[in-house]
Chain A
Amino acid sequence: MRKIINYNIWLLIILMCWSCDSLLENDLPSNEVIAEDALESANDVQQLLNSTYDVTANVFNGNNQRFSELLADNVTILGNSGFLVQVYNRSTDFFNSDVGGYYGQPYIAILRANTILEGIDDVDLTQDQRDRFEGEAKFLRAINHFALVRHFAQPAGYTADNSHLGIVVKSSAEIKTDVRSSVDAAYDLIIADLEDAVDLLPAQNGNYATTYAAQAYLAKVYFQMNNFAQAAAYASDVIENGPFTFSDDINSRYGTSVSSESIFTLISTGLEDNRAGNFKGMYDSRAAVPTLLVSDDYFSLVNSSGGERSAWVENIGGSKVFTKFNRDYMNVSLTNLTELLLIAAESYAELNQNLSTAIDYVNTIKDRAGVALLSDGSSAGLIISEARKERRIEFGGEGYRLHELKRRGTLGEAVLIRNAPWDCNGMVLQFPASEQAVKGFEMNPEGGCN
């Protein structure tokens, strides 16, 4: 007995030693794989790409649009406390966890896009696959940088050569300490990525990015930079040559199916994925007075000049609210014919070219809404102001207004937004505390708007 037990103990100890490593090797949870084995096939790359879309959809699931609206003049906010009130007061700081939580999201998408771009050379792919992966990754990298640079830096045109501080531009997946580049550097990468994407992407690509989506985004980017020639060229190219058809329904962009006019849509419909619920939730006025209300200014504009679109706002017991977001599910259209028609029209007018086309474009939108059309021979100035008015009405609550006002500011207009100059410090969101975890990162200046 004694011997048996003694032997067993020694055996146990020896066995333990022999199998030390296996005793300590834990299987990874089934939702994880080792990084070095994670990217080996076209399917793996596709899944990584899907996850890049996934995060990009998070970027645009509310905060992006909301921050822009709160900094501009289409909305007001209920109450006098909270992180969103801080945004509305144009005084975000590094502890604003709504802004901080948002800021990281585009960079996660950028990391994934960079991982694809650095990883595809080691994977066996057809040329078509390779082109498509590279094109989509660059497209997504570009639109996420674009989202960041518009919120966290003064706009393009704030300095003549855009040498003012922008954001950290990430063109590699390497983890390292970095500093902010100039706005110019950010736009350089955005434009280069989108131009590559135009060449690489197919014309048809399901719900994913196409060559037209890249062109439409180039139009947006150039328009933001007041480069009207390029903006008009890219916009009209998509309008004329793309497969998109203008919808007669003013609400088609907010549906649960992809609108025929939408050029790039983030999919968020269905019980399994209702992330846009966060977007529309702040406006949804069906159950109670929502957090974000419609400003008096916007309310009267839509009522006086909205035509059919006056149904998009409502006065419920003294509270002015949006109604166009009163839905359970909706996709988020990031760019569409309505936007491109207005970009093209305004750009042509700024260039004082193709004015009749410009008038047609504005009238396409006015006609759908059932409001009085621009007459033939309207002046460039009128086309511009009408295009801007239509843009403000069409995209209320969707985050367009702020960038429009800033763009006009860079054109030299003395834009005041709720009594604050368009370029006061607080009109730019502050970076979160995490960015100064390592010394040397330059934060945005604060205050100056009130």
Chain B
Amino acid sequence: MKHKLLLSFMILCLTSAAWAQQITVSGKVTDAADKLGLPGVNIIEKGTTNGTVTDVDGNYSIRVGSGATLLYSYVGYLTEEVPVGGRSVVDIQMEADITQLAEVVVVGYGTQLKREITGSISKVDGQKLQQLQVPSFEAALQGQAAGVQVIQSSGMAGSGSVIRIRGISSVSANGDPLYVVDGIPITADNFLAEANWQNGAFNNNPLAAINPNDIESIEILKDAAAAGIYGSRGANGVILITTKRGKAGKPSFNFSSTVGVSEAVAKPKLLSASEWLELRQEAWELDGNTGAVWVPGYTTAGSSSEERLATLNMLRDQQIDTDWWDLLTRRGFKQTYNLSANFGFKDLTAYVGGSYGKNESYIDGNSFERLSIRANIDYKISDNLDLGVSSSLSRGINERVRVAYTGGLGDAMSVALPVYPVHNSDGTYFRGITRTVANPVFTNDNFQGYTIDDRSITTLSLRYRPIEKLQVSLSGGYDYLDQKNDQWESGILRNDFIDTNGDGEGDTPRNRAERDVRWVDNFNASATAEYDYELSSDSKFKFLVGSEYQQSITSGKNNMVFLGSDVNSTQFKDEGNFSSETQDPQNLFRLNDDKWSFLSFFGRINYSLKGKYLIQGTARTDGSSRFGSNNRFGFFPVLSAAWLLSEESFMDNVGFVDFLKLKAAYGITGNSNFPSNQWIGTYGVNPNGIYNGQPIRYPNKVHNPDLKWETTKSVDIGFELGILNERLDLEVSYYHKRTEDVLMNITLPQYNGFGNFWDNVGEIKNEGVDFTLTSKNITSPNFTWTSTLNVGYNYNEVISIGGYTEDAVGGGTNDTRIVEGSPVGTNFLVRFSRVDPANGRPIYLDINGYETYEYNEQRDRVAVGDVLPDAVGSFNNVFTYKGFDLGVLFVFTIGGNIYDSSSKRQLTFLSDWNVREDVGDRWTQPGDIARYPKVTLSPAEHGNDKEWFNTDLYLHDATYFRMRNISLGYTLPNNLVSKIGLNSAKITLSGTNLLTFTEYPGLDPEVVRDFDNVTDRNLSPNVTYLTPPQEKAYNVTLNVSF
């Protein structure tokens, strides 16, 4: 240190001595492309520390020796070296550095140049995300990075996606990546508060409240080398979201607006009333009955033959044939408006953005509305001290409807039969003899649901450079989420009436508005220090040390209820209009705080030798309240290296290679995304009168002080290659991850009196290759064509489940299993063999592969498939011609299965469901060779008295190829827009999900059913149960800056 100071002093002396020959040089630095002034360009007199920066217009002035050479440098531009040559005015134009290697990439707790990176990181530009019209920003990541699987859950507004980075290695712990916004790991819990009616096909998505337009870039940390700095939370990958910041320069504004329409990609093909009755009659007769068949809602199996016949005749006479799907769907209208401003003053830069959007889905009554504002401000307090503030406030209003098994559109595909009218002749809703048959129009008219997310994410950071090459940062973050789940039900739906005239009979509906609310306070504080140390010009170190503390507290209230005849909507819409006496204190309770915390220490060392040998070591120690007392802290080291082969002299002869980098890494990361306080043996206590008015206490958790994170040991090897003047870029990486201590929420045998408990028992392997090829096919000045192909191949295998059986871990909906030797999410089903041509009965295969009429799940289930694809990827083409650009993004999935769980009730076993048209391929008479067995009302005819036949007959290949997005844009010429005072203007037409190629016979091959919990989320994507299909959308976008 002393030497350095001395050296600086000497340089200072020398430059002072040179004062005599000094001249003043001034000029303007502009962007070579748009000719606009570039503010903040560093200008240094070569060989000295003498320097300056350009002002907001790009002007500068500096005193230098008359023979000096000036170095102009600016992030993202090629450095220019210009001899002054005695001139007093030097104007220069700087060229943007378009090689990807100069790209700055956000890594955990800092940034690195792409060329220096030893790990596997995919960067997605905010601009790309904003081009896609999606329900939530993470859905736009689909197809943007190799090895990142994104399944958008359904066509519902605001719905979340399932994201898997390089496979799945968790069972009961959350398998989602860690989401970090501007340095804060944010709340991304899909299961904060879920009422039963909400689960149907989608869980609430707290990420939807984040405005995609505020996002500068998203970096996906895929391997251990990249995610290792996140230690026990990095094993599923990390998604870093960086929001836009102000840039130096004149104030500028950007306005964009998108409007569009949406509809379902497909409509289920169900039988009409007459076809359905005919089929039912066929079943009735095949079952050996005579006369007219009974019809649910009208008659029962025990009704007399006269009653049954009369009903059938009535239904035929009246020709009731209700298309429930049409009644419950619509053309949805979408609109989004964004306005943002950029300010750059001398010491202060700011980005301010505001947005409003309302996105209606094709399901009547379902929409997502978002309002958001953001201000990101950077202030230079002094030369070596900067203050940064990022703050956002947003509200997401999700107008929700019942779908899937909770009703609505799910009913339209199942129990709302075409033989049911919407209304009776007297105008009342039709409810059948039981007064309970499904009438989704009735339900929709008497039900409202909203989820309102209010969220604010704020960070405050100080960066201090006490000496050259040392930067100390202190950062504090606060992520607040207030989630209200509102529902309203009419007294008619609830069958609850107030007796207003005292006759002992209720006459006025007593409506009910309930609110459940959750508050999540998520605090985060970190301190880091970075130091650059140069041993010599060839040998450079970068050190980072830091510590971080995070605490999250979730609290809330349930059952905030208003009851009364004047309660005509939800509390969100209408609370002010309820009379005060309608508040119902019954069952209101404040939830207990659910807290968790992490305390971490971490470090990173980067060493660069001759700019071509790069080594990075990261290490993190994480302590967490989630870990048992015997395993309070975990240590997660990762070592990685890269070799820039193209820098070697022997590569000079290989002229077509511009760039070649080899990378390798080995390290340990973890996953600790599981519930708090599971390790500690506890009693539940309830001081309220529970039984007979008395308080209770009871053992509720098994003590497990060894409970800890999941440990993933990874090996990563890869290369990056740029050839033919970087016309062709290829990135290939191989990974092998072995995850031990996999957390399972084990179902204990119930005779122990405990339900489930958490234990580290399993072992899972993920192995795969990610591949990205970018080709600049045509690069002529007027016409360009760039293609990108991403493929991520993954092999997944459960190595061990610790001696438990396949039924030890049950998800909520329980569609798939964990089976040793098979992938996570294995379809564990009875095999269907064929239909017996003689009698139409289904023939199954028993455990040994012999044919049997008996359907026996207890004995005959085997692993027949799995929901994980072999490969996912995308093929993107971008064409530009003068002001036009055309983008076509295809995404694809190869291999894996979809289990169409609703088929078992939509085909030949007839219950109270409507039936699909493809029931046509069924056995009707001896000798028929058919795909489906004979129709029956009696499950025994299909091999078992229970009516749910889960077999591989309903398991399908999940391969599909889908045109995810097509967009055609036109950028108005500069000279035209500048006349009307604009900097730029662009109009874009786009379409989403317009084309899909698949063999899958169901509605939509991109499917995620409703989830009850994270185990479901890990195990059961690609399972459908009356799940609403994706939407097809057409949009027009206008983008103007001024």
Contact = CB atoms under 8 A, between A and B. Distances in A.
Interface of A: 1-2, 5-6, 9, 12-13, 16, 20-21, 23-36, 38-39, 44, 46-48, 50-55, 57, 76, 78-81, 85-86, 89-91, 93-96, 103-104, 107-112, 114-115, 167-168, 170, 173, 175-178, 206-208, 267, 270-273, 287-289, 317-319, 426, 430, 432-439, 441, 443, 446-447, 450
Given A38-B683, A85-B947, A437-B805, A5 B912 contact: no
Contact of A47 (B435, B685, B750): B685
B685 A32 contact: yes
B549 A434 contact: no
Contacts of B576: none
B945 A38 contact: no
B783 interface: no
B873 to A, nearest CB: 37
A48 B683 CA distance: 9
A30 B747 contact: no
Given A47-B696, A91-B944, A434-B807, A272 B686 contact: no
Nearest to A104: B750
Contacts of B939: 80, 89
A305 B805 CA distance: 53
Contacts of B911: 79-81
A28 B547 contact: no
Contacts of B805: 436-439
Contacts of B693: 270, 272
A21 B690 CA distance: 36
Contact of B302 (A23, A48, A76, A450): A76
5 contacts: A54-B696, A86-B945, A108-B753, A173-B753, A271-B586
B547 A54 contact: no
B762 interface: no
Contacts of B593: 27, 29-30
Interface stretch (B253-261, B508-516, B697-705, B1029-1037): B697-705
Nearest to A25: B625
B750 A112 contact: no
A435 B464 contact: no
Interface in B285-340: 296, 300-303, 307
B685 A31 contact: yes
Contact of B472 (A9, A91, A114): A9
A103 to B, nearest CB: 6
Contacts of A272: 688-689, 693
Interface string B694-736: 1111111111000000000000000000000000000000000
B682 A28 contact: yes
A239 B586 CA distance: 41
A93 to B, nearest CB: 6
Interface stretch (B30-38, B210-218, B595-603): B595-603
Given A23-B599, A441-B749, A450-B945, A33 B697 contact: yes
B527 A115 contact: no
B940 interface: yes
B650 interface: no
Contact of A287 (B495, B752, B940): B495
Among A44, A89, A96, the most chain B Cβ lie within 10 Å of the Cβ of A89
A4 to B, nearest CB: 10
Nearest to A21: B632
A34 B681 contact: yes
Contacts of A435: 749-751
B435 A20 contact: no
A26 B948 CA distance: 45
A171 to B, nearest CB: 12
B676 interface: yes
B699 A35 contact: yes
Contact of A318 (B303, B436, B592): B303
B807 A433 contact: yes
Contact of B698 (A112, A170, A436): A112
B297 to A, nearest CB: 10
Contacts of B702: 175
Nearest to A81: B911
A44 to B, nearest CB: 6
Interface in B578-596: 586, 592-596
B433 interface: yes
B464 A107 contact: no
A168 B804 contact: no
A1 B384 CA distance: 11
B690 A35 contact: no
B386 interface: no
Contacts of A30: 592-593
Contact of A438 (B696, B703, B803): B803
B803 A93 contact: no
A130 B787 CA distance: 81
B677 interface: yes
B529 interface: yes
A109 B700 CA distance: 12
Contacts of B431: 288
Interface in B722-780: 746-755
A29 B680 CA distance: 12
B857 interface: yes
A181 to B, nearest CB: 11
A28 B466 CA distance: 43
Given A26-B677, A47-B695, A437-B747, A94 B685 contact: no
A50 B677 contact: no
A44 B104 CA distance: 62
Contacts of B434: 78, 288-289
Contact of A80 (B599, B746, B947): B947
A13 B527 contact: yes
Contacts of B750: 103-104, 107, 432, 434-435
Given A26-B597, A434-B807, A35 B698 contact: no
A287 B747 CA distance: 39
A437 B803 CA distance: 9
Nearest to A3: B466
B677 A29 contact: yes
- The 4 A-B residue pairs with the shortest CB-CB distance, nearest first, are A111-B753, A91-B945, A29-B592, A288-B435
A35 B691 contact: no
Contact of A5 (B464, B592, B803): B464
Contacts of B940: 89, 450
Contacts of A24: 597, 599, 623-625, 632
B677 A168 contact: no
A57 B751 CA distance: 18
B946 A86 contact: yes
A61 to B, nearest CB: 11
A30 B591 CA distance: 9
Given A48-B698, A112-B698, 16 more contacts: A5-B464, A6-B472, A16-B599, A20-B599, A29-B593, A53-B692, A76-B302, A81-B905, A91-B945, A104-B753, A104-B755, A107-B753, A270-B693, A273-B691, A436-B807, A438-B803
Contacts of A1: 385
A246 to B, nearest CB: 24
B937 interface: yes
B685 A20 contact: no
A321 B759 CA distance: 49
B691 A5 contact: no
Interface centre among A6, A273, A434, A443 (most CB of B within 10 A): A434
B697 A5 contact: no
B677 A32 contact: yes
B858 interface: yes
A160 to B, nearest CB: 27
B427 interface: no
B504 interface: no
Counting chain B CB atoms within 10 Å of each CB, the highest count among A27, A32, A267 belongs to A32
A33 B804 contact: no
Contact of B690 (A23, A51, A289): A51
B684 interface: yes
Contacts of A170: 751-753
Interface in B930-950: 937-940, 944-948
